[in-house]
């Protein structure tokens, strides 16, 4: 297993984020926000600039953290929009063009993993909504497969598919090798799948292509919050051990999500390195 970081959790200045990551032996950079712009909206020349910087500093792109399908399930839906991390608002009809643009970026950045979602959550996940989500992934999975790309569906509590069990069910129904999983225990915790490990992980185990790492706990006020890795309730030591035992050879990508970003990221990376050294 290799360490990665979603770089904007440290800094929107890619060069500075990479400097910090190098201190902790990180090998991969997951790209989402660069220079105050979401990766989906970054001009191609800036994407090439990012790749040149990664090459010059010895990093690889672990994944493109795209906002694909972080949108309403229908174009007439109204409701709260979650965190978009600088991404422009796009309708459902804009999503295939977004995917094709991210595939173009993937060739420049030399990665085959594009992170995706399953639509803003407007209520409970009903069988009818699950059917629509499954149908919505048919064309993207075909496009991705034709281009040698893996779409990695992240379980996201602000979207309809938030737990490991929900994610595995969609993956099984779409039944495409081009659609796999970004397993995010922190998001599963927020979605009410407690404990995320082993409960959620056991469901997604056969489909994991990428892993996000962020810790969480319930505070004294009864609210869930993200915290430094190792200071929450998620059993990352045994989660990492299980990934190793299962032969996972991909990236563990830190998505810090607690503040202050750079300081918290440093503490998270130190904790992750300590846990991995134990393995």
Query: Tens place of pLDDT for every residue, the chain, 279 residues?
Result: 999 999 999 999 999 999 999 999 999 999 999 999 999 999 999 999 999 999 999 999 999 999 999 999 987 766 667 678 878 889 999 999 999 999 999 999 999 999 999 999 999 999 999 999 999 999 999 999 999 999 999 999 999 999 999 999 999 999 999 999 999 999 999 999 999 999 999 999 999 999 999 999 999 999 999 999 999 999 999 999 999 999 999 999 999 999 989 999 999 999 999 999 998
Task: Give dist(CA 151, CA 64) in Å, integer.
Answer: 10
Give the pLDDT score at 50: 98
What would the CATH number be for the domain defined by 2-278? 3.20.20.150
Domain parsing of the chain, residue ranges: 2-278
Give the pLDDT score at 80: 62
Give the pLDDT score at 78: 64
Task: Give dist(CA 102, CA 181) in Å, integer.
Answer: 17
- Can you give the length of the chain in residues? 279
- Convert the chain into a string of H (helix), E (strand) and C (coil): CEEEEEHHHCCCCHHHHHHHHHHCCCCEEEECEECCEEHHHCCHHHHHHHHHHHHHHCCEEEEEEEEECCCCCCCCCCCCCCCCCCCCCCCHHHHHHHHHHHHHHHHHHCCCEEEECCCECCCCCCHHHHHHHHHHCHHHHHHHHHCCCEEEEECCCCECCCCHHHHHHHHHHHCCCCEEEEECHHHHHHCCCCCHHHHHHHHHHHHEEEEEECEEEECCCCCEEEECCCCCCCCHHHHHHHHHHCCCCCEEEECCCCCCHHHHHHHHHHHHHHHHHHC
Backbone angles phi, psi at 141, to 5 degrees: -65, -40
Strands 150-154 and 113-116: parallel
Question: Which residue is it, tokens 């040149």?
Answer: 52
Give the pLDDT score at 37: 97
Q: CA of 214: how far to CAs of 68, 109, 189, 261, 269, in Å?
A: 21, 25, 10, 12, 11
Closest CA to 135 of 123, 127, 146, 147: 127
Task: Give dist(CA 107, CA 151) in Å, integer.
Answer: 14
């Amino acid at each position: 297993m290799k360490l990665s970081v979603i770089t904007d959790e440290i800094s929107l200045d890619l060069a500075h984020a990479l400097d910090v990551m190098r201190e902790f032996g990180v090998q991969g950079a997951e790209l989402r926000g660069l220079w105050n712009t979401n990766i989906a909206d970054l001009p191609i020349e800036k994407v090439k600039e990012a790749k040149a910087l990664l090459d010059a500093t010895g990093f690889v792109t672990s994944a493109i953290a795209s906002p694909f399908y972080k949108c309403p399930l229908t174009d007439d839906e109204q409701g709260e929009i979650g965190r978009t991390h600088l991404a422009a608002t796009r309708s459902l009809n804009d999503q295939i063009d977004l995917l094709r643009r991210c595939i173009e970026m993937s060739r420049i950045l030399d990665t085959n993993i594009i992170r995706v979602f399953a639509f803003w959550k407007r209520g409970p996940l009903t069988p009818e909504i699950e059917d629509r989500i499954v149908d919505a992934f048919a064309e993207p999975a075909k496009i991705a497969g034709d281009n040698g790309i893996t779409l990695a569906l992240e379980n996201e509590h602000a979207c309809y598919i938030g737990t490991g069990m929900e994610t595995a069910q969609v993956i099984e129904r779409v039944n495409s090798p081009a659609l796999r999983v970004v397993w995010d225990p922190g998001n599963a915790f927020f979605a009410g799948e407690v404990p995320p490990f082993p409960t959620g992980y056991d469901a997604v185990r056969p489909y994991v292509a990428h892993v996000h790492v962020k810790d969480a706990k319930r505070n004294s006020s009864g609210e869930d919050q993200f915290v430094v890795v190792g200071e929450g309730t998620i059993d990352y030591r045994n989660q990492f051990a299980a990934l190793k035992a299962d032969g996972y050879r991909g990236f563990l990508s830190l998505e810090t999500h607690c503040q202050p970003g750079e300081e918290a990221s440093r503490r998270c990376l130190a904790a992750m390195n300590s846990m991995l050294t134990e393995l």
